Amino acid sequence: MAKGQDNGTTILLGLEDYKVGEVWGGEDRVMVKIEVKGREKCPHCGSSRLYGHGKCKSREMLHTWSNGKKVYLEFHRRRWKCCNCKRTFTEGRELVRSRSRLTRPAEAEALWQLKDRNFSQVTRELGVGYGTLRRLLEREIDEEAMGFMQDEDEIYLGIDEHSFRHQELVHTVTEVKQRKVVGILRDDRIVTLKKFLTKIPAGKVKEVCIDMKESLRKAAEAVFPLAKVVVDPFHVIADSNRRMDEARRIEQDVHRKRQVQIPKKIFLVGREKLTEEKKQKVDTLLERYPALKGFYWAKEKIRELYRQPSRGEATKLLENSSST
C-alpha cells in the first residue's frame, strides 16, 4: 500500500498507532490487515525491555461501518514478556478487549445506538447479535464507567428504558454531550434508578433528558432539583405518531367495520419528506376521513416545532399555533 494511502486509511479508521497492510473487500464487508507500529512498553511497569513470548492466532474484529458495509480488522497480535517484572501481556489491548470480536470503537458505537433504539433495530442496522449487545450492556453496569464525570464541569444526562427482547426492562443512563454510557441498571425500578443517580455530582448536572414517563420526571427533579428536565424529541414525535395511528385504526376498525384499509405508513412519514404526489394522496385521504385531520396536523406541527433553528423561533411558532 502506498504511504499516502496508508496514512489516509489509518486516520479514517482511527488507527494511527497501527500499520495498515492489505485491504480487500467483499459484497458486504471490507477487510483491513493491521499490526502494531513501533515497540510496545510493558503496561504493568512501563519498561521497554521486552522479549517475544509467542503469537496469538490472527483474529477478525468488527471495527466500524462504512457505506452499508462492515469494516473488519485482521489483527496479528504478539505476546511479550517484560525483562523487569517478568509479566506477560498481549499487544493491542487499547484497541480490543480480551476475547472480544468487536474493537472498542465498535463497542462504543453499538452502545450509543442502543440509547434510543431497541435491540432488534440495532441488530438489523449494525449486524451485531443480541447476545453480544446484552454482554456489552451488562459490562457497562460497572460503576467505574461513572468515573470520568468527576472531572466534568457540566453534566447533561439522558435517562431511558430498554428491553431485552421485550422481556426485561432496564434503565440506561448516558452523558449526552460526551456520548458515553455511564450506567446500565439491573431493572427498571425507580428506587434502583434514584440510588444510582445519587452517585452523580448533583451540582454539576445542568440538564436531564428523559422519555415521557411521569415517574422519570419526578425522580430526576428529586435527585437534581437545580437541573432542567426535558423530554427527548424522539419520544415526543413517537408519541404523536402513535396517537395518529390509533386514530387511523379506530377509523378503520371500529367506524368502518374493516370494510376499508386506510394506509398507515404515509401518515407517519414527515410531510417535508413526501413527494408532491404523496402529499396529494394524504390530502385526499384526510378529506375522505376528516376525523384524522386533527391528529395529522397536530403531529406535523410538533415536527415543525423541532425543526426551528432556535428556541425563540420555536416559541413564536408555538404561540402562533395556540392563538389560532
Q: What is the pLDDT of residues 34-57, one digit of tens each?
A: 888 777 788 888 888 888 877 777
| C-alpha cell, 173 | 443512563
Residue 233 vs residue 1, higher pLDDT:
233
Q: In this predicted structure, which of 21-30, 118-127, 146-155, 247-256 has the lowest mean pLDDT?
A: 146-155
For residue 114, the tally of other CB atoms under 10 A from its CB is 25
- Distance of CA 197 to CAs 136, 158, 173, 215, Å? 21, 11, 9, 14
Residue type at 5 in one-letter notation: Q
The predicted structure's pLDDT at residue 2: 44
pLDDT grade for 18, boundaries at 50, 70 and 90: confident
pLDDT digits (tens, 9 = 90+) for 163-173: 755 557 888 88
pLDDT grade for 147, boundaries at 50, 70 and 90: low
The predicted structure's pLDDT at residue 15: 82
Q: In this predicted structure, which of 132-136, 227-231, 245-249, 320-324 has the lowest mean pLDDT?
A: 320-324
Q: Provide the CA 214 distance to its chain's centre, in angstroms.
A: 23
- In the chain, at which residue ranges do the beta strands (DSSP E only) sit? 18-25, 29-36, 50-55, 59-66, 69-75, 78-82, 88-90, 155-164, 168-175, 180-184, 205-210, 228-231
Is the per-residue pLDDT at 4 higher than 50? no
Q: Provide the CA 278 distance to its chain's centre, in angstroms.
A: 31
